[in-house]
Amino acid sequence: MNTARLTGKVALITGATGGIGAATAELFAREGARLIVTDTDAAIVETLAARLRSDGAEALGARLDVSSADRWARVVESASDRLGGLDILINIAGVVDWAGVEDTEQRAWDRVIAVNQTGTWLGMKTAMPLLRASGNASIVNTSSVLGIVGSGSAAAYHASKGAVRLLTKTAAVEYATQGVRINSVHPGVIATPMIQDILDEQGNQQPDIVRTPMRRAGLPREIAHAMLFLASDESSFITGAELIVDGGLTAH
């Protein structure tokens, strides 16, 4: 059902070809947003953009390595030149390394921090002039339940997602009177390509699912709907908040 909750808004989505990213792009398109969808593979991004256009949306595809300031500048310039501005920034792009503190290689650490943490900051920094010009803008940064609680592994991922959580909060305070709301979404175990091999092997016996009160993995569309709420004017008095979508995993 199209309720046109984003009609008239331009949204930029990173990591748009992944499970959560694609679900978010498809939902935003149905809700009337004009889109610029990005990821590291130009061909796959353009396939997504073409599919959205075939369904009646206005959508541009662009290659974006979120750790590159130059690539961010080009994509934001495209949003300005081709779509006339920007109202919504959805930072989803992310990578994971599962090693603990001693087993994490510095190359893996640097890559996770560059994409998850630096990429989120660069996106906000580069897009902020357009978002401020909107006068009614929203940024949604993707953290994780692993940005709130520890697991005993994935040291770099925890560090990056915890940083995203507090970066979101301080930016929300900084821009609260400038027409830009900034919030974070914290998914729990979600059935995405990032963990699909684990889910295929362990199913609902995967330890984090066992610890989840709802006893299942979440679906990408369930995160997309959280993104939609925070991107839309329905959340107009919400900034600096963390929306946890985890089936109850962090409730105990």
The set of catalytic residues is 157
On whether the CB atoms of residues 211 and 173 are closer than 8 A, the answer is no
Cα–Cα distance measured from residue 181 to residue 231, given in angstroms and rounded to the nearest whole number: 9
Of 138, 141, 238, nearest in space to 179 by CA: 138
Cα–Cα distance measured from residue 249 to residue 246, given in angstroms and rounded to the nearest whole number: 6
* Count of Cβ atoms closer than 10 Å to residue 218 Cβ: 22
Cα–Cα distance measured from residue 183 to residue 140, given in angstroms and rounded to the nearest whole number: 5
Is the Cα dihedral 237, 242, 247, 249 positive or negative? negative
The pair phi, psi for residue 227, each rounded to 5°, is -60, -45
Residues in the chain: 252
131 has which bridge partners? Answer: none
* Count of Cβ atoms closer than 10 Å to residue 197 Cβ: 9
